[in-house]
C-alpha cells in the first residue's frame, strides 16, 4: 500500500490487541524510516537492526538481543507482552529494502529472539512497495 495510509497504525493496534488478550508478540517494523514501533514504545525511537549491525561490522556475535529488541512500557498492564524491533534499511531509491528486512530477520533468528521471549507471534509491518532496483517514486 501507499505510504502514509495508516499501515503502521493498524499493525500497532493489532499487536497491542493480541498482547492485551495474553499473547507474547514481537512487532518488527520493516520501513527504512524505522518508526513503526513508536506508538508501542510511547513515542521512543529505537536504533534499527541494520544500523546496529553496521556499527558492529555485521558481526552478529558482538550484538546483544537488548541492543535491537525493546520491551513496550505497556507490558506493565497487559495480559501478554510486546517486544519491538526495527529493521531499518536504505534510503528510498538507494538499495534494496527487502534485503535489509531479510538481514534483520536473520539477525533476530541468530539471536534466538523467539525462544528467548517465548513468543506466540511475530508481526512484520512491511512496506507497501519494496524497492530493489534503485528506483523510487518521487
From the list 21, 44, 55, 129, the catalytic residue is 129
Whether 129 is a known active-site residue: answer yes
Whether 51 is a known active-site residue: answer no
Nearest to 26 by CA among 90, 118, 122: 122
Whether 7 is a known active-site residue: answer yes
From the list 20, 33, 51, 99, the catalytic residue is 33
Please compute, for residue 83, the number of CA atoms within 13 A of its CA located in the half-sphere on the CB side. 20
Q: Please, which residues bridge with residue 85 across strands?
A: 28
Task: Provide Rg for the chain, Cα atoms.
Answer: 15
Just list the catalytic residues: 2, 7, 33, 129
Amino acid at each position: 500500500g501507499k505510504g502514509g495510509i495508516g499501515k503502521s497504525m493498524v499493525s500497532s493496534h493489532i499487536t497491542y490487541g493480541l498482547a492485551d488478550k495474553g499473547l507474547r508478540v514481537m512487532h518488527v517494523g520493516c520501513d527504512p524510516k524505522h518508526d513503526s514501533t513508536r506508538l508501542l514504545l510511547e513515542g521512543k525511537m529505537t536504533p534499527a537492526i541494520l544500523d546496529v549491525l553496521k556499527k558492529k561490522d555485521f558481526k552478529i556475535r558482538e550484538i546483544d538481543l537488548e541492543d535491537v529488541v525493546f520491551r513496550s512500557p505497556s507490558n506493565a498492564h497487559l495480559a501478554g507482552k510486546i517486544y519491538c524491533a526495527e529493521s531499518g534499511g536504505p534510503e528510498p531509491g538507494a538499495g534494496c529494502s527487502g534485503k535489509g528486512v531479510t538481514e534483520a530477520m536473520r539477525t533476530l533468528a541468530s539471536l534466538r529472539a523467539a525462544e528467548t521471549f517465548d513468543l506466540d507471534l511475530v508481526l512484520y509491518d512491511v512496506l507497501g512497495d519494496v524497492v530493489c532496483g534503485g528506483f523510487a517514486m518521487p
